[in-house]
Chains A and B, each alone.
Chain A
Amino acid sequence: MKRSHIFSVVLFILVLAAWELTVKLRDIPELILPKPTVIVENLYRNIMSGYLLDHAKVTLIEILGGFFIGAVLGIGLGFLVSRSTFLKEVLHPYIIASQAMPKLALAPLLTLWFGYGLMPKIVITALISFFPLFESTVAGLSYVDKDKLALFRSLRATRYQILMKLRLPIALPYLMSGLRVAIVLSVVGAAVSEFIGANQGLGAVITTAMGMMDTPLMFSAFILLTLIGILFYQMIAIIESSFLKKYYFSRRNDD
């Protein structure tokens, strides 16, 4: 383990200890801020009883379903749009507008349309993960390296070969960073859309716990959501570092 890692862990323990002590010494009510030990106990109990896991399962389905649909549409449409300068220009104002649009604010409307089931949550999550992927695909595939393009042309490469063997490898790092942003946003999207009209999922657990003034449970659900986010983010990072490393190489300029 690196020295910096050890310090990270030490810092984490210090913060928790300070938290625990402050709550104890100042006698802060559990409703406002529970002690870390209380939260851990709550988390353990609710995981063991299966309560949190059942809800986590629902949220996971929303995250993965939404992320998958958003990714397929975002990358697919990004692919198509990047092929045509005309299309890019036509769609440009809409892309800007939709970036500025707070997608989460659509949740009530979508609930109205699709009811209280999984559907509106998956739609929101898909919408939220669509944009970063769409953007990074368009940006990555539109990037032209003139010299490399001339090389491919001089070797009589077809348009398809140029796409697959030149543009795609160059776009891969962009795509992966789009995926990383999208997966994190998917977790946010699923949780927040559950705040509005849901009786299942970790977001719903948070609102229910709020109603019952069960602050430790709110923390437990929050921690699980965070862990899910970290897990997915790390999965993408691992895919990158174990299979795609070479696409991050760039020629150093000093000789």
Chain B
Amino acid sequence: MKPFIELQKIGLDFGKQTIFEDLNLQVEANEFISIIGKSGTGKTTLIRMIAGLLAPTSGRVLINGEAITEPHKEITYVFQKPVLLEWRNLLENVLLPIELERKVTTKDIDKAKEVLKLVHLEEDQAKYPHECSGGMVSRVSLARALITNPKILLMDEPFAALDSITKEQLQLELTQIISTYHSTVIFITHDIQEAVFLSDRVVLINENSNKVNEFIVPFPRPRHKDLKFEPEFQQLIKQIYESLEMIEG
């Protein structure tokens, strides 16, 4: 079977700076993979290429076997810094993807309320972004990603700016949601524990942005939060941590 998402021999330069030389990556349908790397290694750049917002200098990104040249219909991209429109309330922000595609129906509004409920914001739909905390804003941007039932979800350190309690909550909400929607997810993070808890596979990339190591996470999904205390889980984290230390020298 051919992979759902495939990066073939990706090379990318920003002027004189080479970010990627020969990066290959394959992701199966319904797979959840995390990418870990130091900041500045090119994770955001990588995800922008998959999102169709940035063309690689060489190589191709294939979705379902087809090379992408512009943002793909099945892909939803959750930015590193949540971007909301300040002049729209939360409900209207969540409806934006639909509005850009077709006329909004009452069914869409019900759906928007439903996804807001999934991220526990059903009471706050009439609020405006300036009235929201950082955690709420992250939740809204997640809800906005979900309203389209995305087949592919690209998430760029979505929880990095949050406190650990909110982060943990959102991780659990995300695992619930993903298992409902059967999305394929590429998740960027620098938090090893988060990566292991959420994903089927963890990919490490180094300074030179080459994929250096891959770890399969053998636990079935959706996972219970107690998994974080299991010895096997801890063991895997340690393994990844050591591998990361090695590549960073």
Contacts and interface: CB of A to CB of B under 8 A. Distances in A.
Nearest to B75: A154
Contacts of A147: 79, 81, 83
A152 B71 CA distance: 10
A153 B130 contact: no
Contact of A156 (B81, B100, B133, B137): B100
Interface residues of B, number: 28
Interface string A205-244: 0000000000000000000000000000000000000000
B202 to A, nearest CB: 25
Contacts of A161: 100
B79 A151 contact: yes
Q: How many A residues are at the interface, by size bracket?
A: 20 to 34
B79 to A, nearest CB: 7
B73 A249 contact: no
Given A252-B130, A255-B133, A153 B79 contact: no
Interface in B81-118: 81, 83-88, 96-97, 99-101
B246 to A, nearest CB: 35
B77 interface: yes
B128 interface: yes
A65 B202 CA distance: 67
A251 B88 CA distance: 11
Given A147-B79, A165-B99, A249-B128, A255 B134 contact: yes
Interface in A168-189: 169
A246 interface: yes
A153 B87 contact: no
Contact of A157 (B77, B100, B128, B137): B100
Q: At the interface, is chain B mostly helix, strand, loop or mixed?
A: loop
Given A150-B53, A154-B77, A161-B100, A246 B128 contact: yes
A19 interface: no
A148 interface: yes
A169 B133 CA distance: 23
A49 interface: no
B73 A156 contact: yes
B81 A153 contact: no
Contacts of A252: 130
A156 B87 contact: no
A250 interface: yes
A196 to B, nearest CB: 44
B129 interface: yes
Contact of A165 (B52, B73, B100, B134): B100
A153 B99 contact: no
A250 B97 CA distance: 21
A155 interface: yes
Contacts of A114: none
Nearest to B141: A151
A247 interface: yes
A247 B128 CA distance: 11
B86 A155 contact: no
A251 B100 contact: no
Given A165-B99, A251-B130, A252-B130, A154 B53 contact: yes
B5 interface: no
Interface in B125-172: 128-130, 133-134, 137
A247 B73 contact: no
Contacts of B12: none
B13 to A, nearest CB: 20
A252 B86 CA distance: 10
Nearest to A148: B83
A166 B130 CA distance: 17
Interface of B: 51-53, 70-71, 73, 75-77, 79, 81, 83-88, 96-97, 99-101, 128-130, 133-134, 137
Given A156-B101, A250-B130, 5 more contacts: A147-B83, A154-B53, A155-B96, A165-B96, A251-B86
Interface of A: 147-148, 150-157, 161, 165-166, 169, 246-247, 249-252, 255
16 contacts: A147-B79, A147-B81, A147-B83, A150-B83, A153-B53, A154-B71, A154-B76, A155-B96, A155-B100, A155-B101, A156-B70, A165-B100, A249-B130, A251-B84, A251-B86, A255-B134
Q: What 5 A-B pairs are tightest by C-beta distance, nearest first?
A: A255-B134, A249-B86, A246-B87, A154-B77, A147-B83
